[in-house]
Amino acid sequence: MSELWRVAGVLTADEWQAVFADAGVVVTALAALLALIQLRRYIKEREDAARPFLVVDYKFRSILMMIEVRNVSGAVASDIRLSVDKPFEGHMAGRADVLNGLFSDAYRIKQLGPGRSIYWTFDRAPDYYAGDYPRNYEVTGSYSDPRVLRRVAPWKVWTPKIPVTYTETFDLNIEQWGEANADVDYDDKNWNINNRNEKRVERIAKGIGNLVEALKEANDAPRRSMPVARRRKR
């Protein structure tokens, strides 16, 4: 632009071009940053959907109160470690001691497949609820995904990769189950019904067998008492 037509304080064409170029660089950088954020979010969502996930909670069957560890995901959880904030206490002798041993560094579950669960009897729910025992326990579960290996620090490229570890904490609160209905143990109920029916059938069969023996004994009695006729000699 000719210096004659230039107005003081107004940018020239070259200066405007430089401004637009700088603005384009900024916009491109922002777009790349947003794309990177979206990519990281997408990767995390995929990892969260594919990762193992464990839930620790109470499980009830009839009057029995148990503690269950369930794998609610579609992936295998390995090297499962459990801990509790305070020792378990209960009415059933020995059961709390068993759980305290399981929820310690000395015990680990090697692996738990998708949809599988493992549980241990804790106490009889009515006795525990009526007793002076802790109302809640804070349980922590740590476990690994053997499929995903990472370094502790990404920049330490000389260190070996190890399985990714997940940790969750669960609040086991007995108060929320105080007025709840427990699931009916249909398996145990049906087994008891079948067992009673089988015993009844056995008693009936035994009675019929005794009756048959008695009738047979009564039928054979006249034959044993009847004298044998001797043949006359000619």
- 3 has pLDDT over 60: no
**Minimal CA–CA distance to 60: which of 147, 143, 119, 101?**
119
pLDDT in tens, 37-71: 776 776 666 776 778 999 999 999 888 999 999 99
Sequence ranges of the domains in the chain: 1-50, 52-177
pLDDT in tens, 138-184: 999 999 998 877 777 776 777 777 788 999 999 999 988 776 665 65
What lies within 8 Å, CB to CB, of 210 at 6+ separation is: none
Element (H, E) at 21: helix 13-50
Q: What is the pLDDT of residue 1?
A: 47
**For residues 176 and 4, which has the higher predicted lDDT (pLDDT)?**
176
What lies within 8 Å, CB to CB, of 24 at 6+ separation is: none
